[in-house]
Amino acid sequence: MRWTVGERPMKTPFQKQFVVGVDLGGTKILAAVYDQHHRLLAREKKSTKPELGPAGVMGRVAECVNETLAAAALPHAAVRGVGIGVPGMVEPQTGLVRVAPNLHWHDVPLGRLLKTRLKIPVTVLNDVQAGTLAVQQLGSGRKLRDFVCMFIGTGIGGGLVLRGEQYRGAAGLGGEIGHMVVVPDGGPKCGCGNRGCLEAVASRSAIVRRIIRGIEDDKRKSIVTDLCDGDLKRIRSRILAEAYREGDELVHEVLDEAADYIGIGAANLINILNPQAVILGGGLIEALGVKLMRRITNSARAHVIGAGADRVDIRDSGLGDDAGILGSALAARSFLGK
């Protein structure tokens, strides 16, 4: 966008080139501030504490944004907009969060309330949509017209870019790739109420659940116990990655099976949509990297139709853990630019 001299000079002065991206998760809030070249200036983290309710969580989001700006030594007046990615159904036009299960939110006017608090324009969008936007504009989907993102974390979310544009379906509810049924007839129960969903066998939560069961119920030995100082609730992607690298048998068994299922999910998407690439992101993928990617790719190859194995291009996002905040920041910039 270009301003000619004198055009709306007070509302969007030249110095307002910074945007803040926020990733509001069920357990943590991440915020980061970027300059006009998408360079990271500062980044802060805070626990979400959903038990505080919408007002309390919103206060924590505002604090996190303020701390990020303070860390970058930027005044509020220098910020063009805040983008916030939310794990749920969102109306981007109004900034209303219709439902966010992990936060226990229903019809929270997040955009309006946060704008009042921060005195900065706020753009609200779905977190997976934000991550996909980042992959498309700055990540490994940059030069692609047709691709699918799979974000593997607490849950499994999907973003579709078809003919160069994000596709969310007729009512904006598409991309629920975590709820593809991959184990019919009584697979493990999923958070959505069904059984055998991909998310129920291959998300980080499912993986952690199986490892805890292995250690507690089946009395399996695993270095995970030591790595989290005996408190199995503290298992994070980083700990899984370390145990995997060390060759821990239980962790290998569970993660390899999860990778095989993720590969089946990727193959289904390839068979249905024939994208140029499937791009994997999310904490688990970023922490585990190459080895898991290879296993996922092999499983996908084994399940793609016919001689389609050469059509299997599975990549990581190229954005590390930052796809979510970066995408929210991009949304703040581009939505405001319209």
Nearer to its own copies, 47 or 194 (CB): 194
Where is 154: in which H helix or E strand? Answer: none
Nearer to its own copies, 22 or 266 (CB): 266
Minimum distance, C-beta of residue 290 to its own copies, in the bound complex (Å): 24
Q: What is the DSSP letter of 195?
A: B
What is the spatial distance between Cα 256 and Cα 243, in angstroms, rounded to a whole number? 13
Minimum distance, C-beta of residue 178 to its own copies, in the bound complex (Å): 8
Residue 195's DSSP bridge partners are 189
What is the spatial distance between Cα 9 and Cα 84, in angstroms, rounded to a whole number? 26
What is the spatial distance between Cα 45 and Cα 61, in angstroms, rounded to a whole number? 10
Nearer to its own copies, 52 or 162 (CB): 162
Burial level of 259, CB count in 10 A (0-12/13-18/19+)?
Answer: buried
Nearer to its own copies, 220 or 311 (CB): 311
Nearer to its own copies, 139 or 263 (CB): 263
Distance, CA of 135 to chain centre: 11
Nearer to its own copies, 138 or 182 (CB): 182
Query: Which tokens belong to 60?
Result: 């924590």
Minimum distance, C-beta of residue 257 to its own copies, in the bound complex (Å): 10
Chain residues binding its own copies by CB under 8 A are: 145-146, 158, 160, 162-163, 167-177, 179-184, 192-194, 197, 260-261, 264, 267-269, 271-276, 302-306, 308, 311
What is the spatial distance between Cα 29 and Cα 114, in angstroms, rounded to a whole number? 14
Q: What is the DSSP letter of 175?
A: -
User: Hey, what's the torsion of the CAs at 109, 110, 114, 120, to 10 degrees?
Assistant: -100
The distance between the two most distant Cα atoms of the chain, rounded to a whole number of Å, is 73
Minimum distance, C-beta of residue 82 to its own copies, in the bound complex (Å): 28
Minimum distance, C-beta of residue 265 to its own copies, in the bound complex (Å): 9
Minimum distance, C-beta of residue 68 to its own copies, in the bound complex (Å): 33
Angle between helical axes of 249-273 and 237-245 (0-180°, round to 10): 110
Minimum distance, C-beta of residue 149 to its own copies, in the bound complex (Å): 12
Contact predicate 97/107, CB 8 Å? yes
Nearer to its own copies, 193 or 247 (CB): 193
